[in-house]
Every structure is written in structure tokens, then in C-alpha cells.
Amino acid sequence: MDTNGSFTSSFLRLNVFVQFFVAVTVISLCTRVFSGHLFTVAKNGRQHEIAPPTLPHWTPGLRHALRMAYSAKRFLAQSLNKYGDGTPFFIDAAGEKLLIVLNPEHVRKILRSSSELDANPFVHEKILGQLMGSPQSAIDYYKSPESTVDHDQMMQVRQHTSGSALSSLDDKLFDTLKHNITKSYVEASGDKWTDIPDLYAFFEDQATRAVAETLLGSAIVDSYPSFAEDLWTFIESTDTLLLGLPRFMASEAYGARDRLLSHFKTWGRQADELRKQDKVNTQWDPIAGSTLMQEREKLYSSLPGHGEDGRAAQTLGLLYAGTSLMVPVTFWFFYETLRNPSLRTRVYSELTSHRDLTTSKYDFAQLSATPFLQSLYAESARKYSASLVARQVISPVFALDDRYIVKQGTTVLIPSKFAGQYTAAWASVRPALVSKPLSEFWAERFLVTGTAGKERFSDAGLAGNWTSFGGGEHKCPGRFFARDIGIVALAILFGEFEVEMVDPEGARKLDPVSRREAFGTMRPGGKVAARIRRRHE
Ligand code: HEM
């Protein structure tokens, strides 16, 4: 037996591994030290008109790509927890650089400078193309100089979700939600309680269906039982789809999207047929849906490069916009009230004082103008909407301030949840805003004392701090409908039904850890058990 020979070859093999390990360690350490040095120089140096610093990294070439691929939400939250002192910084996924901005002075300037920074390039390529699966011909049209559709569709959403159109949507949503909950949870049990094993799942399903039915009509929701489930599989796969992974690596996400798009195409065809026959109820139609969706279909069907694929991707886009943040924010708006007896009493009293005893109808226009409910809603959005507001620099160069400039083509992201917890900046707007820490839920945060000692809602001075609905020309056009969806949900779950938690104290342990993820759905970390019954009073 040649023991010497095998020992030598094992040693050499080991040695190669050791050499490789040492080389990788040295290269990583040097990369970290060098990139850390560049970061410090750009952050603390005295130069002007320079690019913001790029976060230090360990891996040459790939830079932050591996950590982003593993969990972009967590990586961004860790970066903000460590470096989020207001200095803008780049993260760099193998050359694809994203600028993260938290300082309210910068945020305000970015949101107001629509001729220098635009949301549309990101929306066209990433959101419509990559996420919604829009055909290239439609995207080419959006990008063409003759297209005004980005602006037109914003105006259309705004027009159909405000004023009298909003009141019709509110009433339809109220009837739909009440009918659906009665049918699924209350009808069979008479006056007795019905168990809800998972309150968030109950709410997600009911709110998604009711909003979809209000917007798109009842026929599509009735004929597609896994609709809400598919929509949420798709929403929760946002980062996977935005990374552009091939189908075999994200088959569940692509499968859910394919089914949704296919149903929206059938829906479009059926509604077209009704329109041809002049049989559509233009106020709200079980097949063609709300006036908003009817008008939207007309707008998109007349555009070049569209066809039914482009229209279906737009329908998916609107439904995504109307549910992905609305469901978690509305859930917490309701849930924070449910678990706090004094809030519950106050909400119930607001609801009953705006309810007509003869018709049993709520006045949602008056309820949504109530300072207390406005503040309660704004606080829910501040704490529980975790989105990234995106812009792309379209001018040759954009100055964030007299120190940092960014080049054309740079993608800028504003993390709304972290901006909503940046204490120093909130305190400088109005010290009373941080009388209770921003990490806590405080329903009265947005209330101020107005003339004659009257309570008033105020978000004055907070354009760069409270970015739950974005800002500037692209500010969420559906925000009034979003707020009213919340108030309708309160009217249903407190006014028409009674909901009780089984173990309120135990459920507190399931609250999400606020600064662990920078974006994505904020839901309880486990099942919150509850029960429901019809209210008798
Ligand atoms: C709590 C609920 C909601 C939140 C937190 C929210 C938040 C946002 C944010 C942050 C943006 C990007 C704004 C910007 O870039 O400045 C946005 C855009 C948009 N939202 Fe909402 N939204 C909500 C509900 C809704 C609803 C219910 C609808 C309509 C049914 C809607 C329709 C839209 C549309 C169409 C856009 C794209 C605007 C554009 O073309 O740039 N949203 N929303």
C-alpha cells in the first residue's frame, strides 16, 4: 500500500482547497475594505456634485446581487436599519444600481420634480412588462411620443373614484361585502357565533372579492372560484417576477398570472359583446362591472398595439394597485380598532351618528370627512403600507441637493414604511407628531387643534415623510376609494356584525416585526382566531 503517495495527494488536494478558501477570503476582505472606504469618502468627504455612495459589499462583480436574490425585502431593511441616517445610497445588483432615498428634503424634491424624474419608465418596463406580462407592442406604444394614455388613465381613475362616483362605489361595496359575509358566515348560524380560524385570511378573501366584484362585476368572481387565491399568489410573487426568473423557477407565480390574464380576456370579450348589443348597465353591470372599468376598457381597446392581451394586463394592473396595499392597510385599520376598547367605542359612535335610522344607510361621504377616522386611517397607512415609490431620472442630471447628483437613467426608490418611521424628520415638522414613538400605532397622530378648539386632521408639511400614497403628479389616484374601502369595512364589521377575538393578548405576539422587511404585505405572523355574528340592536 502506498500510504505516502495517498497522503501526499490528499495533502495537495486539501492544500488546493485551503488556497482557494484563503484567496476567496482575502479577495472578499479587500473588496469589503475598499468598497467601505469609497462609501465613507463619498458620505463624509467635502466634495460637491458627486454621486451618492454605494453600500459596501463583499463580492466583486456581483456586489449585492446574491443578498438581493436571497431576499430583497430583508436586504433593503437591513441596509436601512444600518445606513438609514438620511444619506442617499446606492445598492448595486451586479451593475443594476438602485438609489434609496429617505431624507424628506430629497423625497419632497424628487416627488415634485416630474419633469426631471418620472414614474412611467419604471411602470412601463418593470410593472407592466415584467410583472403584468403586457405585450411588447403595448409597451412600445406607451413609450411613443404620441401616447397620452399614462396621464389619461390616471385622470380616469381619479374621476371615477371621487365625488358622486365614489359614493356609488362605496354603496356597491357595502352591499356586496354585507351580502357575501352573510351568505358565507352568518346565514346558516342564525344569531349564534361562527368561528373564524384565521382573521387575516378571512379579511383578505372577503375584501379582495368584494373590491373585485365592485370594480369588475359579479360574473367574473362567481365563475372563477380561485380568483382571490390566484391574485394573492401573484401579488406575493412580485419580487420573484420582477427579478425575471424563468418560468420553470417560478411556475406557481406564472401559473397564477396566466389564469388571471386568461379570465380577464374572457371577461373583456363578454363585456364587448354586451356593449355591441347595447345591453350594458352603465352604472354597474354584473358582467361589464363598474363605470370605471367600462370606461377603462373603452380607453384601452382603442389604442394601437393592444388587443386583448394588452387590455388584460392593464386590468390585472388596476386590480393589483387596488388590492395589494389596500388589503393589509384596511385589515390593520380594522384590527387595531378591534383590539382597543376605547378606539372601538369611538369608531362605533362615529358610525352610528352617520347612519340613517330609517334607511339603515351610512353616509360614507360624511364619515370619511371625520377628522378622527381620517387620522386613524392615515396612521394605519403610515404604519402598515410597505411599498417602494419608484421614479427614474429622465433629465441628463438631477441634483438631490448641493452635494449629491444623479445621472439620467437612475432608478430612485423611496421606502414608504421606513420614511414613515424616520423620527428626526417627523419631529422637525411638528414635535407633537412624535408624542408617541413612530414605531407605535397611535390613532390620533394626525389630529391638530383647529380654530375654536375643534379637532382637525392635518398632514401639512409631511409630503416628504408620509409617502404611503406616493406624491406629486403620480400620487395614488385611488386613495379616496382606498380610504372609503376602510370605512365601509368598519361599517360592516362593527356596525352590521360583531367580531370578537378569541385571545387578544396572545394575538399581540403575532404582530409583524416592523423593520425586518422593507416592503411587502404586512400580516400577522400566525392565525388570529375570532368569531362573528349578526349585530342586533
Ligand atoms: C391603502 C391602499 C392603497 C395604497 C397605500 C396605495 C398606494 C399607492 C402608491 C404608493 C402608488 C404610487 C404613487 C407614486 O408613484 O407616487 C399608487 C399608485 C396607484 N394606485 Fe394606489 N394605493 C392604494 C389603493 C389604491 C386603489 C384602491 C386604487 C384604485 C382602485 C389604486 C390605484 C392606483 C393606480 C392606478 C396607481 C398608478 C398611478 C400611476 O399611473 O402612476 N390604489 N398607489
CA 414: distance to chain centroid? 12
CB-ligand 1 contact for 389 (6 Å cutoff): yes
Q: Is residue 226 part of a domain?
A: yes
Q: Is residue 305 part of a domain?
A: yes
Q: Is residue 80 part of a domain?
A: yes
Ligand 1 centre to CA of 263 (Å) is: 23
Q: Is residue 85 part of a domain?
A: yes
Strands 411-415 and 96-100: parallel
CB-ligand 1 contact for 110 (6 Å cutoff): no
Q: Are 120 and 197 in the same domain?
A: no
Contact 379, 421 (CB under 8 A): no
| Averaged confidence pLDDT in the chain | 95
Nearest CA to ligand 1 atom 26: 322
Nearest CA to ligand 1 atom 19: 476
Most informative mutation of 476, 479, 483, 519 for ligand 1 (most atoms within 8 A of CB):
476
The whole-number pLDDT of residue 29 equals: 94
Q: Are 63 and 146 in the same domain?
A: no
Domain final position from 79, 102, 131: 131
Q: Are 336 and 353 in the same domain?
A: yes
Name the one residue in this structure whose C-alpha cell is 360583531.
498
Helix (H) or strand (E) holding 467: none
Tell me which residue of 502, 499, 487 sits closest to 207, measured CA to CA: 487
Domain final position from 78, 108, 131: 131
CB-ligand 1 contact for 385 (6 Å cutoff): yes
Residue 365: pLDDT over 80:
yes
**β partners of residue 219:** none
Residue 5: pLDDT over 70:
no
Counted domains in the chain: 2
Residue 186: pLDDT over 70:
yes
**β partners of residue 407:** 397
Ligand 1 centre to CA of 469 (Å) is: 6
Residue 2: pLDDT over 70:
no
Residue 11: pLDDT over 80:
no
Query: How many residues appear in the chain?
Result: 537
Q: Are 19 and 43 in the same domain?
A: yes
CA 95 to CA 142: how far, in whole Å?
26
Q: Are 67 and 190 in the same domain?
A: no
In which domain, by residue range, is 19 found?
Answer: 3-131
Residue 450: pLDDT over 90:
no
The whole-number pLDDT of residue 240 equals: 86
CB-ligand 1 contact for 325 (6 Å cutoff): yes
Q: Are 7 and 146 in the same domain?
A: no
Q: Are 290 and 193 in the same domain?
A: yes
Q: Is residue 243 part of a domain?
A: yes
| Tens-place pLDDT, residues 491-506 | 999 999 999 999 999 9
CB-ligand 1 contact for 100 (6 Å cutoff): no
CA 67 to CA 65: how far, in whole Å?
6
The whole-number pLDDT of residue 19 equals: 85
Residue 275: pLDDT over 60:
yes
Tell me which residue of 188, 170, 186 sits closest to 496, measured CA to CA: 186
Nearest CA to ligand 1 atom 40: 154
Contact 232, 204 (CB under 8 A): yes
CB-ligand 1 contact for 470 (6 Å cutoff): yes
Q: Are 180 and 237 in the same domain?
A: yes
CA 210 to CA 57: how far, in whole Å?
46
The whole-number pLDDT of residue 17 equals: 79
The whole-number pLDDT of residue 187 equals: 86
Sign of the torsion formed by the C-alpha atoms of 123, 125, 131 and 134: positive
Most informative mutation of 118, 214, 469 for ligand 1 (most atoms within 8 A of CB):
469
Q: What is the mean pLDDT of residues 95-112?
A: 96
C-alpha cell at 2: 502506498
Q: Are 49 and 149 in the same domain?
A: no
Q: Are 155 and 273 in the same domain?
A: yes
Using the atom order of ligand 1, give the atom closest to the CA of residue 472. 16
Edge-first strand order for the sheet with 89-93 is 89-93, 96-100, 411-415, 388-393, 117-118
Q: Are 325 and 178 in the same domain?
A: yes
DSSP-derived 3-state class of residue 391: strand
Ligand 1 centre to CA of 3 (Å) is: 72
CB-ligand 1 contact for 476 (6 Å cutoff): yes
Helix axes 199-216, 479-490, angle to 10 degrees: 130
The whole-number pLDDT of residue 227 equals: 96
Domain final position from 131, 148, 164: 131
Q: Is residue 424 part of a domain?
A: no
Q: Is residue 317 part of a domain?
A: yes
Q: What is the mean pLDDT of residues 326-346?
A: 98
Ligand 1 centre to CA of 128 (Å) is: 14
| Tens-place pLDDT, residues 368-379 | 999 999 999 999
Residue type, 369: A
Nearest CA to ligand 1 atom 18: 476
Ligand 1 centre to CA of 251 (Å) is: 27
The whole-number pLDDT of residue 12 equals: 65
Nearest CA to ligand 1 atom 14: 470
Q: What is the mean pLDDT of residues 432-441?
A: 97
CATH number, position 495: 1.10.630.10
ipTM greater than 0.90, yes or no? Answer: yes
